[in-house]
Structure 1
Amino acid sequence: MPKNRIASTSLLILLFFSGFAALVYQVLWVRELGLLFGSTAQAAALTIAIFFTGLASGGWFWGRRAPHTSSLRWFGWVEIGVALTALGHFALVDVYHALYPIFYATVGHSPILDTLVKAIIAATLLLPASFLMGGTLPLMVQHLVRHPNQLATVGTQLYAVNTAGSASGALATGFVLPLLLGFRNTYLLAVSLDFTVGLLAVLLASTKTEKSSISSDLQQKFNSDTKIPNRSPHLSLPNPLVWATAFSSGFATLGIEVIWTRLFSQVLQNSVYTYALVLSTFLLALSLGAAIANALSRLHRPAPPLILCGLLLLASSATAVSPWLFYEVTDGFTYLGRDLNWESYLSAIASVAGLVMLLPGMILGAVLPYLMRILETDPRQPSEQVGRLIAADTTGAILGSLSAGFLLLPLLGAWRSLLLLASIYLVIVAAIALLRTTIIRLVVAGVLVTAAVLLTGMNLQALQTVPIGTRANDRIVEIQEGSHATVAVVDTSRGGRAIRVNTYYTLGSSRNLHFEQNQTVVPMMTHPKPDSVFYLGMGTGITAGAALAFPVKLVVCELLPEVVSLSKAHFTPWTRGLFEDERVTVHAEDGRNCLSRSRDRYNLIISDLFTPWERGTGNLYTLENYQIAKERLEPDGIFVQWIPLYQVSQQEFGIIARTMAEVFPQVVMWRGDLAPSRSIVALIGQKQAQPLDPQVIARHGRYLMNQLEAIATPTSDEALTALLLRLYVGNITASKLFDNYPINTDDYPLIEYLAPRTHRQVQTGTARFLVGSEREHLYHQIRSAVNPEADPYLVNLTSAQYGYVNAGHNYSRYAQLSAQGSKQQARPYLEKFQVLSPSDELQDLSPASVLLRR
């Protein structure tokens, strides 16, 4: 291989890993600032906007100032600079975690000032490194372009390689690196890569005197203010139109990417893996688009403006067709790969993502790099041309992503937003056509503008009800396509009104009224004075509303503002005045962030049911989250983590239990119901280990019973105590069953990365969630490890009250066996339950259904 070819290949490898590291940074920065500011759409958008601002300003700055004879050396020093400034993350992020609550206490009352503080913090973390990143491509272009007519062929090749590196970085960060290295070491790996790339570039530049990027006679032409001869209007476009095209392309491309990602969230597991697969597919499409631009740049005919118009028309068509294409390949928004194993599931997603995104994305991705071909006759040096393109495109990308997420989706919905973005490409073609003065070209421009208007106004009624994936006989009450998610209120065919997020995730239902109320009643009945409660998550509002039966003040934080508004509009009959009661404060915010920045203290913090495998929810099961919660508790406070046993295996349950036990001196477990199979449980962590007081249960029960308008039959304190004690499972801390499980942390988010795999294994029958016999086996393990009589949490119980605990175990076993059809085996457990229950036993086994009956 010739030396020049070896050198060029070496530089392409360096640029590939530069792109790889950049995406690793981006993914980790979005995650870290999400932990600091909250995992909201606004916080993520702010992070991306500032990151892109750094890229845009860096591209413009370094493009104008790239040296003529030492650009490779400067590339190396810039890469080393990226590594050094990225290391500042470790010095600043801990400081900001300590300072942000103070800042919020000062300016949090003003959304504008709060956003400004967030922007300043994010800028100090992201701008230095991203500003330097923006200069890497222009500097490498400056080094490798030896002649003006090489700008397109060399520039598009470099753009393709750099973007392919970015796609690989997104894939590696989503699938491999965090579990292998942890997020901290993954970040350090990116720093090491950048430092190595920079050092190698400097060494390559020093092996011999670097030649001028452009021969001396042609360099004069690049530096001259005089246009290169033969710059025909048929071969080029005015620079303002080129920059406008780059801007519009960035706006449309990133807007389309945001909407495609939302569409995929309707049919996928929505784990960290599926998100990474969709993102990397899109980046790969952009890389392949640059390769297409490279091939087109080598054509002498047709004229470059005509080829550009062809790309723009194809981009418009591909975008306009994508709603119908998405509908067809997902079989009408059907959940993808429901019964597939892990590998087959990922393969199915990759196939669908490829069909929906790859070909259209390649066309979208070819527009920007092909503009280098249009600029070949520009007298400026190559780095300046590429830097200006990057600046224009990235500025458009910032506005496009923000507009799609916060303006287009809420106002127009996904389908119309895609058609509107498709029309942008037509408007650009019309603008190019208007440069010609003939009547025919004016007519073409008019036709294209008309087509853009028609696209935006097309009748999409056939697709309007697709994005919620309703079951047969369900009735959609209201849908909101908001900045965070697509949320719907549905009257279900099985009875009850439910909230669904992104088609398939049910947040709660009035059909399960008393089960949802139990999530409040069970823990509040155990606390001596539950007068201040924080809810991490709200859903329908039924759970939080149950607390209003007590003399209490509530703070409720729900991540999705669309859920808050829909719950307020459609669930007031079941929320006990949650949205009208002056004792309640509801925030449409990330719950973990609400806690971390708060200076208030609570008697109870209740963490709602969360889907463990969904991207972002793993942060709510980490050591750091539990430490934040412990700091916000009163001395006698308790933290309640509700867990859906029908969504976790023994592995995930053990990790969560072990992580809580690392923070709280005593963790105990309560049932949320005595249902036959699909149950929820609460792990309750105490800030100070204290035994349960059965008199507290009776006092609270009597208070709630007195709130009823009429009591059908007299009820003793013992019956009220039994009603709750039957739900007690055992002492997690004393059992020591989970001491050898790993701890889930922000650095090693095991739940977020393991739960999606378990989910797929359960779908194919190779693993089991904790339902049916698996649930009963877990209960038996905990009960066997620490008998109720030896449980330090139950030391104040009488012998009869120990019997109530055992009665609950027997009834749970009876219900499970009965549901399986084993009536004969089940009967002895029912008889034991009846013997151990008080004489005036309440017929209803749910505390909420007895105590909150209207």
Structure 2
Amino acid sequence: MALPGGGDYIGGDTGFAGYMGHVVLTAVVAVGLPVTAMGVLLPYLFKLAEADARGPGETVGALVMINTLAAIAGSVGAGCVLLGWLGLWPSLRLMAALYLAAALWLVVEKQPKGGSVRLAPIVGMLILITLLDTSRLPLVRTDPIEKEEMLLKVWEGADGTVAVVRQGGHLRTKLNNWYTLGGTGDTITQQIQTHLPMLLHENPKRVFYLGLGTGITAGAVLDYPVESVVVAEIAPSVIKASREFFSEYTNGLFDDPRVSVIAEDGRNVLRGAQSEFDLIISDLFIPWKAGTGTLYSVEHYQASKRRLREGGLYAQWIPLYQVTQEEFAIITRSMLEVFPTVTLWRGNFWADRPVVALIGHREAAILESSTPLLVASQRALEEHKDGVGDTVPLIAHYAGGVSKTDTNFSDAPVNTDNRPVIEYRAPINHRLEKAGRAEWFTDERMLDFMAERVNRDALATDAYLSGINPAWRDVVQAGYYFHASKALKSWEHEDADVAEQAYRDLLQQTAIELGRRALQ
């Protein structure tokens, strides 16, 4: 465990080249010797087989056949059987023991008089079960001192190592010792990932979730009169973790007869499904994680669009704190290739961990006054008439429309299955950010980008808002000021209070104006 950094994330603050060098060096030091030994095993068997009475062709053919079948059985058995049955470290110890047993058998079989040589695998066996006893190694790295982490339970399997960790007063799920799938510390953000797209649809009855995580997001849908909910999660252990530890936060998700939680690849389910949905909600998938690039591809969006009923929406949630502006532009440009209308919405107003949604509309669309989101916004706005409200109207989450002609996206490459640019660019930018040579899309550029979309000129020509009272544009602009105030405050900027006051003034003025017009 010490050789690969004690289970910690390797690479430190190096760039991509330094990170790859660190990975290669760690691999060479940790597994270089045993892999080399395994590599010479087959040629050594060829040498031992020279004394075989059969012809060389028959002997070599038999050995190659056995080696091929064993390689197939080993890869399937290790990934699909041993990891789930014994776990990571016991499986490695079992493999080492089998190799040592094979070595002992060869020594005894071919060199019956070599007593001293015969001791080598026996000594290896003793070392394996004493000094190199892997059962003492931790499965998940935790920090009980500085981070107040306590490991509650671990599942091992072909889908990875899934752990539930208590940190302070909150629970969170970790995949493969590093990748966090969510937790109870930010339930509001996770729930808004359901509430916002649900309220943007006129009457959603059938909902599909691409990814489960903790289950908090999917559980929020049960507050609505839905008929059917399908949740596809590729890792079965994540489903077990959610059911066992997060049930009190998932709103009865695993007990509701309207819900089907399936352990399947959501992308493949959507491509092969015959059912149609009103709403597809895609979880936060970090682009630099291997294999997630296909979830941002044109082909995936096309398959998803075919599964949408008339008026259907596809909600693509994106963590801006894990993407650069380049990846954000690629994802947006790819969605614009498929959906005729794409709108941008904030999932929260945080400065350091902002989350946004790209909402793809099956048909060209405008926001109607009867849309439930606007009705809910009206109720929240009423609280601000006297300047004492603290509920942010949902329309304030709107961050503008996007289009192919926008200079931020017009030159961005399109991510496809055959040309998965996200799969290559995102890991490189991830390492550049670690090295301080790139920045996540959370700084002043994010605020400038949003300001472009919600200034008065942009909002006056925003086709998506053309069907509602123009006074609502001030609420949209107020949402920007609220986000700016949070960011400026975190940066200790002197204009933070000015931005917050502008937010409150706009909401109060709009509430009064809409109330006056309602009386006319």
TM-score (norm 1): 0.55
Q: In the aligned structure 1, how far is the partner of 2:112 from the partner of 2:340? A: 82
Match of 1:744 among 415, 438, 441: 415
- Matching residue within 345, 356, 363 for 1:688: 363
Equivalent runs, 1:672-711 vs 2, <5 Å: 672-697=347-372, 701=376
Task: Look up the equivalent residue of 1:768 and give its one-letter code.
Answer: E
Q: 1:416·1:456 contact (CA, 8 Å) conserved in 2?
A: no
Deviation of 1:427 (Å): 2.3
Residue 445 of structure 2 corresponds to residue 774 of structure 1: yes
Aligned to 1:95: none
Alignment-derived partner of residue 40 in structure 2: 366
- Give the SS at the match of 1:669: strand
Judge conservation of contact 2:305–2:362 (CA < 8 Å) in 1. yes
Instruction: Choose the corresponding residue for 2:478, options 801, 807, 813.
Output: 807
Amino acid in structure 2 at the alignment position of 1:478: K
1:593 aligns with 2:268: yes
| Count of residues in Structure 1 that have an aligned counterpart in Structure 2 | 504
SS state of the match for residue 580, structure 1? Answer: coil
Is it true that 1:499 corresponds to 2:170 in the alignment?
Answer: no
Q: What does residue 830 of structure 1 align with?
A: 500
Q: What is the correspondence of 1:568-717 to structure 2 with a 5 Å cutoff? A: 568-697=243-372, 701=376
Q: Which amino acid aligns with 1:667?
A: V
Contact 1:474–1:491 (CA under 8 A) maintained in structure 2: yes
CA offsets 1:662-694 (integer angstroms, 9 cap, x no match): 100010000001112320100001010111123
Whole-Å separation in 2 of the counterparts to 1:475 and 1:488: 10
Q: How far apart, CA to CA, are the structure 2 residues paired with 1:348 and 1:759?
A: 15
Render the CA deviation track for 1:152-202: whole Å, top value 9, x for unaligned. Answer: xxxxxxxxxxxxxxxxxxxxxxxxxxxxxxxxxxxxxxxxxxxxxxxxxxx
**CA–CA distance in structure 2, aligned partners of residues 348 and 702 of structure 1:** 51
Q: Is the 8 A contact 2:4 2:30 kept in 1?
A: no
SS of 1:774's equivalent in the other structure is: helix
CA change 1:596–1:640 in 2 (3 A) is same
Aligned to 2:71: 397
Query: Take 1:796 and 1:694, find their aligned partners in 2: how far apart are those partners?
Result: 7
Kindly tell me: are residues 725 and 547 of structure 1, through their superposed partners in 2, closer, same or farther at Cα, counting changes over 3 Å? Answer: same
Query: Aligned runs of 1:25-40 on 2, under 5 Å?
Result: none
Task: Give secondary structure in 2 for the equivalent of 1:799.
Answer: coil
| Residues 52-98 of structure 1: CA deviation (Å, up to 9, x unaligned) | xxxxxxxxxxxxxxxxxxxxxxxxxxxxxxxxxxxxxxxxxxxxxxx
Distance in 1 (CA, whole Å) between partners of 2:377 and 2:320 is 31
| Matches of 1:412 and 1:751, distance apart in 2 | 35
Q: Name the CA distance, whole Å, in 2 between partners of 1:752 and 1:758.
A: 11
In the alignment, residue 592 of structure 1 is paired with which amino acid?
Answer: R
For residue 148 of structure 2, what is the aligned residue in structure 1? Answer: 473
* 1:672 aligned partner, one-letter code: G
Q: Deviations over 1:700-750 (max 9, x none)?
A: 7499x9xxxxx9x9899xx89961111000011276231221110000100
User: 2:216 matched to which residue of 1?
Assistant: 542
- Which is richer in helix? 1
Give the equivalent residue in structure 2 for 1:377.
51
Equivalent residues of 2:97, 2:125 under 8 A apart: yes
Verify the 8 A CA contact 2:296 2:331 in the aligned structure 1: yes
Aligned equivalent of 1:221: none
Structure 1's 469 and 558: CA in aligned 2 closer, same or farther, altered over 3 A? farther
Q: C-alpha distance in 1, partners of 2:391/2:9?
A: 44
Residue 185 of structure 2 is matched in structure 1 by: 511
Paired amino acid for 2:309: E
CA contact (8 A) 1:668 1:683 kept: yes
Alignment of 1:343-492 (within 5 A): 343-432=17-106, 435=109, 448=122, 451=125, 455=129, 460=134, 462-466=136-140, 472-492=147-167
Q: Which residue of 1 aligns with 2:9?
A: 335
Contact 1:722–1:837 under 8 Å retained in 2 = no
1:331 is displaced (CA, Å) by 3.0
Q: Which blocks of at least 5 consecutive residues in structure 1 are unaligned?
A: 1-326, 706-710, 842-854
Q: Which residue of 2 aligns with 1:524?
A: 198
Change (3 A) 1:416 1:467: farther
Aligned mates of 2:282, 2:373 — CA distance in 1: 25
In structure 2, the CA distance between the partners of 1:840 and 1:743, relative to structure 1 (3 Å rule), is closer
The percent of aligned pairs where both chains have the same amino acid is 37
Question: What letter matches 2:43 in structure 1?
Answer: P
- The AA in structure 2 aligned to 1:392 is I
Q: Retained in 1: the 8 A contact 2:474–2:510?
A: no
Instruction: Write the letter of the residue equivalent to 2:63.
Output: L
Larger radius of gyration: 1
Return the alpha-carbon distance in structure 2 between the equivalents of residues 351 and 512 of structure 1: 38
How far is 1:433 from its partner?
A: 5.4
Alignment of 1:752-791 (within 5 A): 752-783=423-454, 787-791=458-462
Give the direction of change, closer, same or farther, for the CA distance of 1:805–1:702 in structure 2 (3 Å limit). closer
The alignment yields a C-alpha RMSD, in angstroms, of: 3.1
- CA contact 2:140–2:177 (8 Å) conserved in 1: no
Which amino acid letter does the alignment assign opposite residue 393 of structure 1?
A: N
Q: What is the letter of the counterpart of residue 648 of structure 1? A: V
Query: In the alignment, is the contact (CA less than 8 A) between 2:475 and 2:506 conserved in 1?
Result: yes
Asked if the contact 2:377/2:394 (under 8 Å) is kept, the reply is no
Structure of higher RCO (CA pairs closer than 8 Å, 6+ residues apart): 1
In the TM superposition, residue 801 of structure 1 has moved relative to its aligned partner by 1.2
CA deviation after TM superposition for structure 1 residue 619, in Å? 0.4
Whether the aligned pair in 2 keeps the contact of 1:698 and 1:720 (CA below 8 Å) is no
State the Cα distance separating 1:810 from its structure 2 match: 1.0
Distance 1:466 1:511, change over 3 A: closer
Summarize the Cα distance change of 1:348–1:504 in structure 2 as closer, same or farther, 3 Å threshold.
same
